[in-house]
Amino acid sequence: MVYDELRKLAAQRLAHEKPGQTLQATALVHEAYLRLVVVDQPQPWDGRHHFFAAAAEAMRRILVENARRKKRLKRGGDRQRLDLDQVAGKAELADDRLLAIDEALETLSREDPQAAQLVKLRFFAGLSVTDAAGVLGISRANAYEQWAYARAWLRCVVQDDEAT
Protein backbone atom coordinates (compact mmCIF):
# COMPACT_ATOMS: atom_id res chain seq x y z
CA MET A 1 0.00 0.00 0.00
CA VAL A 2 2.82 2.42 0.76
CA TYR A 3 5.27 1.29 -1.93
CA ASP A 4 4.55 4.17 -4.30
CA GLU A 5 4.90 6.74 -1.53
CA LEU A 6 8.15 5.19 -0.27
CA ARG A 7 9.51 5.10 -3.82
CA LYS A 8 8.64 8.77 -4.29
CA LEU A 9 10.42 9.66 -1.03
CA ALA A 10 13.45 7.60 -2.04
CA ALA A 11 13.59 9.27 -5.46
CA GLN A 12 13.44 12.70 -3.79
CA ARG A 13 16.25 11.74 -1.44
CA LEU A 14 18.43 10.30 -4.18
CA ALA A 15 17.94 13.46 -6.25
CA HIS A 16 20.16 15.18 -3.65
CA GLU A 17 22.96 12.67 -4.11
CA LYS A 18 25.89 13.26 -6.41
CA PRO A 19 25.66 12.30 -10.08
CA GLY A 20 26.70 8.77 -10.93
CA GLN A 21 24.99 7.32 -7.88
CA THR A 22 24.71 3.57 -8.33
CA LEU A 23 21.88 3.20 -5.81
CA GLN A 24 18.45 3.63 -7.39
CA ALA A 25 15.19 4.60 -5.70
CA THR A 26 13.72 1.14 -6.19
CA ALA A 27 16.75 -0.54 -4.63
CA LEU A 28 16.71 1.92 -1.73
CA VAL A 29 13.02 1.21 -1.04
CA HIS A 30 13.55 -2.55 -1.26
CA GLU A 31 16.55 -2.45 1.07
CA ALA A 32 14.69 -0.26 3.55
CA TYR A 33 11.67 -2.56 3.41
CA LEU A 34 13.83 -5.62 4.08
CA ARG A 35 15.23 -3.89 7.15
CA LEU A 36 11.79 -2.85 8.38
CA VAL A 37 10.01 -6.16 7.91
CA VAL A 38 11.76 -8.86 9.89
CA VAL A 39 9.89 -12.14 9.44
CA ASP A 40 11.06 -13.59 12.76
CA GLN A 41 10.11 -10.48 14.74
CA PRO A 42 7.03 -8.70 13.37
CA GLN A 43 7.05 -4.97 14.17
CA PRO A 44 4.07 -3.46 15.98
CA TRP A 45 3.63 -0.27 13.92
CA ASP A 46 1.70 2.43 15.78
CA GLY A 47 0.33 3.72 12.51
CA ARG A 48 1.37 5.33 9.27
CA HIS A 49 3.50 7.98 10.95
CA HIS A 50 5.51 5.45 12.94
CA PHE A 51 6.14 3.38 9.81
CA PHE A 52 7.35 6.37 7.76
CA ALA A 53 9.61 7.54 10.58
CA ALA A 54 11.17 4.08 10.68
CA ALA A 55 11.46 4.07 6.87
CA ALA A 56 13.25 7.44 6.95
CA GLU A 57 15.70 6.09 9.52
CA ALA A 58 16.29 2.94 7.45
CA MET A 59 16.94 4.99 4.30
CA ARG A 60 19.33 7.25 6.20
CA ARG A 61 21.31 4.28 7.46
CA ILE A 62 21.46 2.70 4.00
CA LEU A 63 22.75 5.92 2.42
CA VAL A 64 25.34 6.39 5.17
CA GLU A 65 26.53 2.79 4.83
CA ASN A 66 26.75 3.26 1.07
CA ALA A 67 28.81 6.43 1.53
CA ARG A 68 31.15 4.67 3.97
CA ARG A 69 31.52 1.72 1.63
CA LYS A 70 32.49 4.02 -1.25
CA LYS A 71 35.09 5.78 0.95
CA ARG A 72 37.01 2.56 1.57
CA LEU A 73 40.27 2.17 -0.27
CA LYS A 74 39.11 -1.19 -1.56
CA ARG A 75 36.34 0.64 -3.42
CA GLY A 76 38.61 3.42 -4.69
CA GLY A 77 37.89 5.70 -1.73
CA ASP A 78 40.96 7.82 -2.42
CA ARG A 79 39.83 8.41 -6.02
CA GLN A 80 37.17 10.71 -7.32
CA ARG A 81 34.68 9.30 -9.83
CA LEU A 82 33.84 11.52 -12.78
CA ASP A 83 31.38 11.08 -15.62
CA LEU A 84 32.79 12.29 -18.90
CA ASP A 85 29.53 14.11 -19.64
CA GLN A 86 29.60 15.96 -16.33
CA VAL A 87 33.27 16.64 -15.73
CA ALA A 88 32.53 20.27 -14.97
CA GLY A 89 29.52 19.37 -12.78
CA LYS A 90 29.89 19.43 -9.03
CA ALA A 91 28.42 16.92 -6.60
CA GLU A 92 25.50 18.24 -4.60
CA LEU A 93 26.31 16.21 -1.51
CA ALA A 94 29.71 14.57 -1.33
CA ASP A 95 30.24 11.40 0.69
CA ASP A 96 32.47 13.26 3.17
CA ARG A 97 29.72 15.79 3.75
CA LEU A 98 27.09 13.07 4.21
CA LEU A 99 29.28 11.37 6.81
CA ALA A 100 29.87 14.69 8.58
CA ILE A 101 26.12 15.35 8.63
CA ASP A 102 25.50 11.86 9.99
CA GLU A 103 28.00 12.37 12.83
CA ALA A 104 26.50 15.76 13.63
CA LEU A 105 23.01 14.25 13.52
CA GLU A 106 24.05 11.60 16.04
CA THR A 107 25.28 14.34 18.37
CA LEU A 108 22.09 16.34 17.87
CA SER A 109 19.99 13.25 18.65
CA ARG A 110 21.66 13.05 22.07
CA GLU A 111 20.97 16.74 22.76
CA ASP A 112 17.55 17.14 21.12
CA PRO A 113 16.06 13.85 19.88
CA GLN A 114 12.93 15.45 18.44
CA ALA A 115 14.90 17.98 16.37
CA ALA A 116 17.13 15.17 15.09
CA GLN A 117 14.08 13.10 14.13
CA LEU A 118 12.67 16.12 12.30
CA VAL A 119 15.92 16.46 10.33
CA LYS A 120 15.83 12.76 9.43
CA LEU A 121 12.27 13.03 8.19
CA ARG A 122 13.01 16.20 6.19
CA PHE A 123 16.46 15.36 4.85
CA PHE A 124 16.33 11.60 4.36
CA ALA A 125 12.62 10.93 3.77
CA GLY A 126 11.93 14.18 1.91
CA LEU A 127 8.86 15.06 3.96
CA SER A 128 7.67 18.65 4.18
CA VAL A 129 7.81 20.40 7.54
CA THR A 130 4.03 20.04 7.85
CA ASP A 131 4.13 16.30 7.09
CA ALA A 132 7.05 15.78 9.47
CA ALA A 133 5.13 17.65 12.18
CA GLY A 134 2.25 15.22 11.65
CA VAL A 135 4.58 12.24 11.92
CA LEU A 136 6.11 13.58 15.14
CA GLY A 137 2.75 14.68 16.56
CA ILE A 138 3.81 18.29 17.09
CA SER A 139 2.35 21.58 15.88
CA ARG A 140 3.41 23.02 12.55
CA ALA A 141 4.77 26.15 14.27
CA ASN A 142 6.85 24.04 16.65
CA ALA A 143 8.16 22.00 13.72
CA TYR A 144 9.24 25.16 11.87
CA GLU A 145 11.03 26.42 15.01
CA GLN A 146 12.81 23.10 15.52
CA TRP A 147 13.69 22.91 11.81
CA ALA A 148 15.28 26.38 11.93
CA TYR A 149 17.17 25.48 15.10
CA ALA A 150 18.37 22.10 13.81
CA ARG A 151 19.50 23.54 10.45
CA ALA A 152 21.50 26.30 12.15
CA TRP A 153 22.97 23.87 14.69
CA LEU A 154 23.97 21.35 12.02
CA ARG A 155 25.42 24.06 9.78
CA CYS A 156 27.63 25.33 12.62
CA VAL A 157 28.81 21.84 13.59
CA VAL A 158 29.50 20.68 10.02
CA GLN A 159 31.31 23.90 9.10
CA ASP A 160 33.45 23.66 12.24
CA ASP A 161 34.35 20.07 11.33
CA GLU A 162 35.27 21.07 7.78
CA ALA A 163 37.43 23.94 9.05
CA THR A 164 39.55 21.65 11.24
127 pLDDT more than 80: yes
The more confidently predicted of residues 82 and 143 is 143
Whether the CB-CB separation of 45 and 51 falls below 8 Å is answered with: yes
89 pLDDT more than 50: no
Whether the CB-CB separation of 9 and 125 falls below 8 Å is answered with: yes
Give the pLDDT confidence score for residue 90 in this predicted structure. 46
Give the pLDDT confidence score for residue 84 in this predicted structure. 46
87 pLDDT more than 50: no
CA dihedral 74, 75, 79, 81 (to 10 degrees): 170
Give the pLDDT confidence score for residue 33 in this predicted structure. 81
pLDDT digits (tens, 9 = 90+) for 19-74: 656 677 788 888 888 888 766 676 777 887 888 888 888 888 888 888 788 777 66
Q: Give the Å distances, CA to CA, from 105 to 80, 84, 99.
A: 25, 34, 10
Q: What is the Cα–Cα distance from 56 to 5, expressed in whole angstroms?
A: 12
Give the pLDDT confidence score for residue 162 in this predicted structure. 61
Whether the CB-CB separation of 150 and 116 falls below 8 Å is answered with: yes
Number of H helices, E strands in the chain: 7, 0
Give the pLDDT confidence score for residue 27 in this predicted structure. 83
82 pLDDT more than 60: no
Give the pLDDT confidence score for residue 59 in this predicted structure. 85
- CA count, 13 A, side-chain hemisphere, 93: 17
Angle at CA of residue 122, ends 119 and 127, nearest 5°: 150
**85 residue type, one letter:** D
Whether the CB-CB separation of 121 and 136 falls below 8 Å is answered with: yes
Lowest mean pLDDT among 67-71, 119-123, 150-154: 67-71
Q: What is the pTM of this model?
A: 0.49
Give the pLDDT confidence score for residue 91 in this predicted structure. 46
Mean pLDDT along residues 6-26: 73
The DSSP symbol for 47 reads: S
